[in-house]
Amino acid sequence: MSQTTVAVIIPAYRGNEDLRRCLASVSQARPPPDEWIVVLDGGDEAAKEIALALGAQVAQTPTRGGPAKARNFGARLAKSDILLFVDADVIIPPDAIAQVLDAFQCEPELVGVFGSYDDAPGQPNFLSQYKNLLHHYVHQTSQEEASTFWTGCGAIRRDIFLAMGGFAEHYRQPSIEDIELGYRLKQAGYRIRLRKSLQAKHLKRWDSVSLLQSDFFARALPWSALILQSRGFINDLNVNITSRISVVLTYALLASAIVAWRWPALWIATLCCAIALLALNASLYRFFWRKRGLLFALAAIPWHWLYYLYSGLAFALALIYHWMPRRHNEKQASETKVPLKEEETPR
């Protein structure tokens, strides 16, 4: 039996220290990848120099088309059996390729496997720690039989990837192209595994503006639209039942707090909603406390509740956008319906 081969594919745009650290981690992987392709998405010369200096094969798209297009470009160039996608701001562990090979060897019917961020984010500021620890917690507490995919550190069989058409290239910015592919794979009957021991370090620095823009416009809105289009209300990762109930409770808390300024008796309802939210998400807040202390956990709670608020808003907007064209089409169809002729009128 021939040995399974692995190609690491990294889309890159800027040549910076994060990219250098990412590529250095790939160069130190044991076993090493059979192929290692850095796809410059219209990237600068510095990115090319860093990649070549560390021994990577460099390919370049004609114009900047986003990470989804760059990954597809690299996948078509690769010859290996397995494609391991890694983001340019991620450090993979030395045994990442060994873990990927082990996953596919243990479960030959497996099509995809992905990991999570570790619990030691590369940036020390509060929002970077909060955002990445939240990701780590969600992935580490989710079911291993996954319903989606992740390109931060995720592998897939190349033949299936190409047969499925790769990532949807209309996502021209980092968005949910990996989630969308995961949905299509599951709908086609393929199996994807979340391997919790496969943990990579995220180097990205988050601030309030970048976090809110990414969460709302690049994830919550398109993910909500994808759920409505595919009718895929999965109970997994960020869209599990606990999250859905928390969204409802967060809006109930906000509404009761607003009304309570006029009718103080409703502060009891506000308090009840807050207690319910704390209880429902207690394991996450205890996790924050264990990892970063009580003050960090207390500071994370309002950000987490804000996350539920804008996630609910995104779903409502996506629902309106999804519903309005359908209603418009139904109205047009009813208005243009050809009336029956007299002799065709049913008796």
The domain locations on the chain are 6-205, 207-325
Residue 62, pLDDT score: 83
What is the secondary structure of 152-185 as a DSSP string? SEEEEEHHHHHHTTSS-TT--SSSSHHHHHHHHH
DSSP 265: G
Residue 240 confidence class, pLDDT cut points 50, 70, 90: confident
Per DSSP, the three-state class of 287 is helix
Q: Is the pLDDT of residue 333 over 70?
A: no
**% residues pLDDT > 90 (the chain):** 81
27 touches 5 (CB < 8 A): no
Is the CA virtual torsion 213, 145, 106, 109 positive or negative? Answer: negative
Q: Which residue has the higher pLDDT, 233 or 116?
A: 116
Residue 334 confidence class, pLDDT cut points 50, 70, 90: very low
Q: Which residue has the tokens 């390109």?
A: 151
pLDDT (mean) for 244-254: 95
pLDDT (mean) for 204-220: 96
pLDDT (mean) for 117-146: 96
In the chain, where does DSSP find H-type helix?
17-27, 45-53, 67-77, 96-106, 126-140, 158-163, 177-187, 208-213, 221-230, 241-260, 267-280, 282-292, 294-335
Residue 343 confidence class, pLDDT cut points 50, 70, 90: very low
The fold for domain 6-205 equals Spore Coat Polysaccharide Biosynthesis Protein SpsA; Chain A (3.90.550)
pLDDT 10s digits, 51-109? 999 999 999 998 889 999 999 999 999 999 999 999 999 999 999 999 999 999 999 99
DSSP 262: T
Q: Which H or E element spans position 200?
A: strand 191-202
**% residues pLDDT > 70 (the chain):** 90
269 touches 260 (CB < 8 A): yes
pLDDT (mean) for 240-254: 93
Residue 331 confidence class, pLDDT cut points 50, 70, 90: very low
Residue 344, pLDDT score: 38
pLDDT (mean) for 319-347: 52
Residue 328, pLDDT score: 45
Query: Would you call 281 exposed, middle or buried from its count of C-beta atoms within 10 A (0-12, 13-18, 19+)?
Result: buried
* Span of 21-25, 39-43, 154-158 with lowest mean pLDDT: 39-43
Question: Would you state the structure tokens that stand for residue 209, as one six-digit string?
Answer: 């503006």
Question: Pairing state of beta strands 90-91 and 153-157?
Answer: unpaired
Q: Is the pLDDT of residue 342 over 70?
A: no
Residue 207, pLDDT score: 98
pTM comes to: 0.90
Residue 323, pLDDT score: 81
Q: What is the mean pLDDT of the chain?
A: 91
